[in-house]
Amino acid sequence: MATRRLFIGALLNAGAACGRTEDGVRLRAKPGKPIGPPFPAGLTALKLRAERDALVYVPQSLPAPAPFVLYLHGATGDEQQGIRRLSKLADEFGFVLLSPASQEITWDAIRGSFGPDVRFIDSALSKVFAQCQIDPHRTAVCGFSDGASYALGLGMSNGGLFHRVMAFSPGFIPNAVQPSGSPRFFLSHGTKDEILPIDACSRRLAPYLNREGYTVKLREFDGPHAVPPEIAREAIEWFLK
């Protein structure tokens, strides 16, 4: 546990300096007029690779154009995590949900730099946008733990695509982000988080983002390293407000 905390603390200190830039963090996919057949309602595997693929979930009832959420899992997670966490909310609120898996045990920029995972996410986004009519003004990226940290970096670098960023228990902002646009941020964190302590993480990240000119909502809750259902619901309501 102590090693994990020191590791995250070092990354937070490095990630807070966001002046460096690096190729590979910008996404090219953009919502537009669909050119392919729509996905059926329910769960569809995109089949972009044999293992650690991407899943798209489409509710039975969906507005046109539809809101869109990209979910990024935590360390050791996979493409199923976002479906388990948000599919019921997708049914209730009516949004398309994309949940890809990182190539390795966690996202590339968590342990190095943006690269293959960004390209994979871009491919998944392109496929969804080609087959779903997405509202370009209601798009969000979110994630949990390592996925939340990655969502912060990806959202800051692609503010023209993602207008909202929802980070559940983030640890840091990856280095080499390329700030673009003005996305709004929702951060949540448990006050009893022993994996990524709130004082070293979200209570430092929220003021930093504010200083950089972003609008930030920090939602603290009495709990551990988790995403309570009521917090996930609050984030989605914030996103669609």
Q: Would you state the pLDDT for residue 22?
A: 42
pLDDT at 12: 42
Centre a 10 Å sphere on the Cβ of residue 51 and count the other Cβ atoms it contains.
8
Q: Contact, 53 vs 79, CB < 8 A?
A: yes
Close Cβ partners of 104 (under 8 Å, ≥ 6 residues apart):
none
Cβ count within 10 A of residue 229: 11
pLDDT of residue 1 exceeding 90? no
Output the pLDDT for position 38. 93
Is a pLDDT exceeding 90 seen at residue 151? yes
Give tens-digit pLDDT for 27-49. Answer: 999 999 999 899 999 999 999 99
Position 196 pLDDT exceeds 90: yes
Rounded Cα distance, 226 and 217, in Å: 18
Spatial separation of the C-alpha atoms in residues 42 and 15, rounded to whole Å = 37
| Residue type at position 224 | P
Question: Does an H or E element contain 211, and which?
Answer: helix 202-211
Tens-place pLDDT, residues 111-139 = 999 999 999 999 999 999 999 999 999 99
DSSP characters over 27-74: ---------SPPPPSEEEE--SSSSS-EEEEE-SS--SSEEEEEEE--
Say what the alpha-carbon torsion angle 156, 158, 164, 168 is, to the nearest 10 degrees: -50
Say what percent of the chain tops pLDDT 90.
Answer: 88
State the DSSP code for 131.
H
Using only C-alpha atoms, the chain has a radius of gyration, in whole angstroms, of 16
Residues 164-180 pLDDT 10s: 999 999 999 998 898 99
- Estimate the share of the chain in helix, then strand, then coil, as percent rounded to the nearest 5: 35, 20, 45
Residue 176's pLDDT is: 82
pLDDT band at 21 (very low <50, low <70, confident <90, very high): very low
Confidence tier at 15 by pLDDT (50, 70, 90): very low
Nearest Cα residue to 196 out of 185, 184, 188 = 188
Tokens of 196: 């990524």
Question: With 70 as the cut, is the pLDDT of residue 7 above it?
Answer: no
Residue 6 has pLDDT above 90, yes or no: no
**In this structure, which amino acid lies at residue 228?**
P
Domains and CATH numbers, the chain: 2-32+43-240 (3.40.50.1820)
pLDDT of 16:
38
Token couple for 20: 């460096």
One-letter amino acid for residue 234 of the chain: E
pLDDT of residue 189: 99
CA-to-CA separations, 64 to 26, 83, 131, 144, in angstroms, rounded: 27, 21, 12, 28
Residues 188-194 have a mean pLDDT of 98
The reported pLDDT for the residue numbered 10 is 36
Residue 92 in this model has a pLDDT that exceeds 90: yes
The residue that leads in pLDDT, 18 or 173, is: 173
pLDDT level of residue 239 (50, 70, 90 thresholds):
very high
Cβ-defined contacts of 227-231 (< 8 Å, 24+)? 227/85, 227/144, 227/168, 227/169, 227/188, 231/168, 231/188
